[in-house]
Amino acid sequence: MASATLEPGSTRIARPTPGALDGIRVLEIGTLIAGPFAGRLLGDLGADVVKIEAPDRPDPLRTWGQAERDGHHVFWTVHARNKRCITLDLRQPRGQEVFLRLVERADVVIESFRPGTLERWNLGFEQLAARNPGIVLARVSGYGQTGPSARRPGYASVAEAVSGLRHINGFPGQAPPRLAVSLGDSLGGMFAAQGVLAALIARGRTGRGQVVDVALTESCLAVLESTVPDYDLGGVVRRPSGTRLEGVAPSNLYRSADGCWVVIAANQDSLFRRLCAAFDEPELADDARFADHVARGRNQDELDVVVAGWAASLDADALLARLDAAGVVCGRVNTVAEVVADPQFRARGMLVPHHDDRIDIDVLGPGVVPVLSATPGAVRWAGPPRPGCHNEPVYGELLGMTEPELAELTAEGVV
């Protein structure tokens, strides 16, 4: 199997472009963010991702995102990139049989329905594995496939709350805010992609696929660092700490003379010594209040006042230049406009044009992460403009369907 490439400005499949996952075919039947993000990550690395939408219910993500042109929202442009889009009604028995035929020619299925939905459609893992013992089924849901909360619906915002992630965000005494993106969904998608890759490696040894069970709540819990053992061993309930981490100093936001916010992270002993030298007060590194990590943590408030005073004496550019010269970890808090202009992101190919066929313009989007040296990923095409625009090539290529067969399924509302 070879990952397909679309010719620019066309839905016609052109010659293959090899990538790390060249030869892996993915059927994506999820909607919105978490499942489709996993599909996007695999597609970026060269997998042939076939996105399946219901004929009468396209993925709602097609209408998400704040920017739009002529009714077309560009969130879809990025999240559906490197995918071929077909339509298929999995609620109909004939649609289910067509899907199982596709499964026979696939390596991975990604779904993000509420647990039990696939089983209700007679498309559970047992049915899929009976047709293809090597199939890997990635299941992304709010709470996972088992447990007392499994059947509850779940969104990223709730997952962030239930996992404890939201509790430690924000400032003490205030309502815990959310990040202005669906972080829980993106974490779930990343863990799903990671699980798929691990399952494919295991399949190489055993010849058999398996279920990758990803819960949004657990994906958020997984990034909480030491909060659980801190509570278990010491009864510590970590609280929100605003712009800093308690006991880690100096590592905070500081305002420059021209009003910019700059992160200065010099909490390691050697870095703190460099920071003091950069501001011509090297003796401060030997002050008993700040001489080591523990002491600086105990005297964090006092130290923040000192560092804030230093930062406020210089404009942001001069401040960053001095810190960079001293080898101190630092960075400006950028707006998206500043990110787009950032020469480091540009040099690394992390801001990539996506040619959007529906509005016939290039839309800038994020590049491919991670960067692989021998088999780099690529944005081969933007999100396909219409549901089902690849019905003919995909059904013809994978299932050998003729035009009359496809026309019959279309007339019956199956595709």
Q: Which residues make beta-bridge pairs with 225?
A: none
Distance CA 164, CA 24 (A): 36
Q: In this structure, is the dihedral angle defined by the CA atoms of residues 267, 273, 274 and 275, taken in order, positive or negative?
A: positive
Is 185 part of the annotated catalytic residue set?
yes
Taking alpha carbons only, the member of 152, 206, 157, 213 closest to residue 180 is 157
Q: In this structure, is the dihedral angle defined by the CA atoms of residues 109, 112, 114 and 120, taken in order, positive or negative?
A: negative
Distance CA 267, CA 297 (A): 9
Distance CA 185, CA 220 (A): 9
Helix residue ranges per DSSP H, 73-167: 75-79, 93-103, 117-120, 125-131, 156-162
Q: How many helices (H) and strands (E) does the chain have?
A: 17, 15
CA angle (380 as vertex; 200, 83 as ends), nearest 5? 55
Under a CB-based contact definition with an 8 Å cutoff, are residues 51 and 85 in contact? yes
Structure tokens at 81: 């990139």
Q: In this structure, is the dihedral angle defined by the CA atoms of residues 107, 109, 138 and 382, taken in order, positive or negative?
A: positive
DSSP, collapsed to helix, strand or coil, labels residue 8 as: coil
User: Which residue among the candidates 59, 107, 185, 304 is catalytic per the annotation?
Assistant: 185
Name residue, tokens 């863990």: 191
Kindly tell me the burial class for residue 327, based on how many C-beta atoms sit within 10 Å of its own C-beta (0-12, 13-18, 19 or more).
Answer: middle
Kindly tell me the burial class for residue 70, based on how many C-beta atoms sit within 10 Å of its own C-beta (0-12, 13-18, 19 or more).
Answer: exposed
3-state helix vs strand vs coil in the chain, percent to 5 = 40, 15, 45
Kindly tell me the burial class for residue 392, based on how many C-beta atoms sit within 10 Å of its own C-beta (0-12, 13-18, 19 or more).
Answer: middle
DSSP, collapsed to helix, strand or coil, labels residue 370 as: coil
Tell me which residues are annotated as active site: 185
